[in-house]
Amino acid sequence: MNRTTLTCQIMDFRPNDIEISVCMRRSGEEEIRTIYTWRSGGHLTPVRISRGDGGGYEEVVDMEEGRQLMNGSAGHENIPLQLEVIPVISKKNLGAFICQCSLQITPSYDLDNGAELSVHVNHPALTSPVSVHRILNVIGVPPKLSIISPERFIHEEQLTLPCPINGFKPRTLSITWLRRDKNHRETELVTWNSGSQTIHKEKYFHRVKEDEHEDKSYSYISSLIMQPTIREDDGVTYICRTFHPATHHQEDKEQILNVTAVPVLDLIVKGQEVVSVGEKLDLSCKIRSFYPSDIQVTWYTEDNVMISSHTTAPVLEYDELYHVTSSSSYTPTMKDLGKKFRCQVQHVSLLKAKYITWTLEEILSLPTVGDIMCVSAPPELGNTVTLSCAISNMHPGDPTIQWYRGLKKLNFEDWKTHLQKDPESKIFSGTTELTFTPTTGEHGAQIRLEITHGGK
């Protein structure tokens, strides 16, 4: 407890031969114990002191601080009363002496509240010692509470609710954590009494950190640890209740849990088996296991251009969580090859937006096929002829090419294909050339080119 000073004045005695004893009897003890004894030395030292009459006058008096004979302990030998005695003797003008005795004590509430403290004085002029008595009324200091609220309460994630309990004396304290449901029913979860702990519900854990300060006050941090769920804990109030026996002080601090669940984003799925330039691309993403139901879903290209989209109404799942499906449509060009598309979610459970990406790794650009041209002299019987056809705007560069003479497939060895990729546009262009020697039977025959690309 706090340090305090008691004073005792002993007046008008002579000669300067005085013995002062401080005695104590704690609650439950039958005998009074002497814990301090002091005797004057008989030799005074001149010192200058103020008369205290407000006139600023000072006089020289003889004063001594005496000598200590013993300093014992007050009961409970392992925990003595913290005591410092300062007796000061001064001599009055008429030859009598005065002793101003100051007792500085730091009592313990548990040991010293209600204890009897007495000062006994012995002097040659007395037939028996005289004494004064005082019953110590040690007053405790109640604790101050607060609950540190976490930024979020997340479904099925470990949560710690710390409750700092500060500045109380003495140390003895009881802590109870309670749960108040939506129907205002309270249930005890944990009880803690100065180190002895009982956990009533297996879902919960509890720890206490203790600190002692220089002024002999105490601070605890009581932490309730759990994994909240939407079904059991959303809207529920958790209470830290303390009781301080020394001050009969009870105090509650409450925390309402608004539990949220972080949305889970499934992989983005494309609606078309083959993505083609200039044709609609459909992308969809299922967003599930979130709470509450309000959610915002937005789609973006890699260049942060927002794409038109549609999100279904939230659907409640069996575990009190929600899911939606969000879809977007986009018409890609060759410039979009290799770029990422982003489905982004904003929700009260998130400190920042959550997203998932899908990369356009393959795209089909159907070739533009030119007319079949004769690149040599007009066909003549027995002379080699080369026919050429230009192919452009194609991706990827792996078409299937087949030349026909009428209905007959020509051999692969009869033609050559030359394709080149433009590094900037990633488009393939080139030619396919058929070389053959006309015969009499081929007069008027139809030469035809068939190109298959991406299954089309």
DSSP calls for 134-194? EE--PPPB--EE-----S-EETTS-EEEEEEEEEEBSS--EEEEEEE-TT--EEEEEEEET
Distance between CA atoms of residues 194 and 1, nearest Å: 18
pLDDT along the chain (456 residues), means of 10: 84 89 88 88 48 44 46 51 85 86 84 89 92 88 90 94 93 94 94 89 93 89 96 95 93 96 97 92 97 97 93 94 96 93 97 96 92 81 86 90 88 90 90 86 83 82
The predicted structure's pLDDT at residue 44: 47
Lookup: tokens for 200: 């009533």
What architecture is the 368-452 domain classified under in CATH?
Sandwich (2.60)
**CA proximity to 422, closest of 358, 359, 365:** 365
Contact call for residues 388 and 396 (beta carbons, < 8 A): no
The predicted structure's pLDDT at residue 74: 45
Distance between CA atoms of residues 337 and 455, nearest Å: 19
Q: Where are the domains of the chain?
A: 4-135, 144-260, 264-359, 368-452
Residue 426 φ/ψ, nearest 5 degrees: 65, 20
CATH class of 144-260: mainly beta
Contact call for residues 440 and 381 (beta carbons, < 8 A): yes
Contact call for residues 20 and 113 (beta carbons, < 8 A): no
- What is the pairing mode between strands 116-122 and 130-135? antiparallel
Region of 367 (left: φ > 0; alpha: ψ -120 to 50; beta: rest) is: beta
Lookup: tokens for 8: 């005792």
Element at 375 (helix H, strand E):
none
- Buried/exposed 410-424: b ≥16 CB within 10 Å, e otherwise: eeeeebeeebeeeee
Write down the pTM of the prediction: 0.69
The predicted structure's pLDDT at residue 292: 96
Query: Cα–Cα distances in Å, from 149 out to 167, 333, 351?
Result: 21, 51, 16
Q: Which fold has domain 264-359?
A: Immunoglobulin-like (2.60.40)
Strand, coil or helix: what is 453?
A: coil
The predicted structure's pLDDT at residue 29: 86
The predicted structure's pLDDT at residue 14: 87
Contact call for residues 451 and 399 (beta carbons, < 8 A): yes
Strand, coil or helix: what is 297?
A: strand
The predicted structure's pLDDT at residue 234: 95
Contact call for residues 328 and 309 (beta carbons, < 8 A): yes
Kindly give the residue spans of alpha helices, DSSP state H, lying in 17-174.
109-112
Between 2.60.40.10, 3.40.50.970, 3.40.1010.10, 3.10.20.30, what CATH number should domain 4-135 receive? Answer: 2.60.40.10
